[in-house]
Structure 1
Amino acid sequence: MKRATIRTTHENASAIAAALSPDNTPEMHMTVTDDTIELTVERETTGGLQSTVDDYVVNLTVAAQLTNNPKSESNNE
């Protein structure tokens, strides 16, 4: 079994983790402590591990951007 652990810190870690958790599989374990998100992923193959980590990092980046920069209301007048 291949394993990777990713730790990131965010002012709004709980909100980001909540946005990411629906995509987690049983082989992914996420914890949030204060401002830190820790994700451990286990996969049978190196390729599977790499794909899962890549997907997580992309989703994490988007979630962090959206929680830091919420969409402002536009005025179409």
Structure 2
Amino acid sequence: MSRRATIRTAHDDAALVARALSPDNTDEMSTTVETVERDGSEATADDDHAAAIVTRIDRETTSGLQSTVDDYVVNLEVAIDIVEQARTVQRDEPTDTGPVSDTDSDSEHDTTQ
């Protein structure tokens, strides 16, 4: 008989957190991102909806399930910390404005007239 656990957690950037978790998933685990409306029904992603990471774990023994769930929760905490740190650093860095020239435009200093 298999033991099962489903862990559902809501996040602002659930897809990014799920990607950070995926390298640690074992064959007995599956992680998906589900989008749900605030009232709990399923919906598509937009500003009016919340996203949740849903991880399902199947193990043959209770102790194996407990160990995998413990590891997953630690990995989840680390992934959340990394995503939050990345957001903080991103906000502190200027966005790329494309190529910038040190000289004035040709129209302002046209000497061929």
TM-score over 0.5 for the pair: yes
Instruction: Tell me what 2:8 maps to.
Output: 7
Q: Which amino acid is the alignment partner of residue 38 of structure 1? A: V
Q: CA deviation at 1:8?
A: 0.1
Aligned to 1:75: none
Moved over 4 A (4+): none
Counterpart residue identity of residue 42, structure 1: D
Task: Structure 1: state its 5+ residue gaps.
Answer: 73-77
Count of residue correspondences: 72
Cα distance between partner residues in 2 of 1:27 and 1:69: 29
Kindly name which structure, 1 or 2, has the bigger radius of gyration based on alpha carbons. Answer: 2
Helix, strand or coil at the partner of 2:68: helix
1:1-77 map, 5 Å: 1-34=2-35, 35-70=51-86, 72=89
TM-score (norm 2): 0.60
Amino acid at match of 1:58: V
> CA–CA distance in 2 between the matches of 1:16 and 1:40?
16
CA RMSD of aligned residues (A): 1.2
Q: Whole-Å Cα distance in 2 between the matches of residues 53 and 13 of structure 1?
A: 19
- Tell me the TM-score normalised to structure 1 length: 0.86
CA deviation digits over 1:6-33, x for unaligned, max 9? 0000001001100110111111011102
> CA–CA distance in 2 between the matches of 1:48 and 1:21?
19
Q: Which runs of 5+ in 2 are unaligned?
A: 36-50, 90-113
Higher relative contact order (CA 8 A, sep 6+): 1
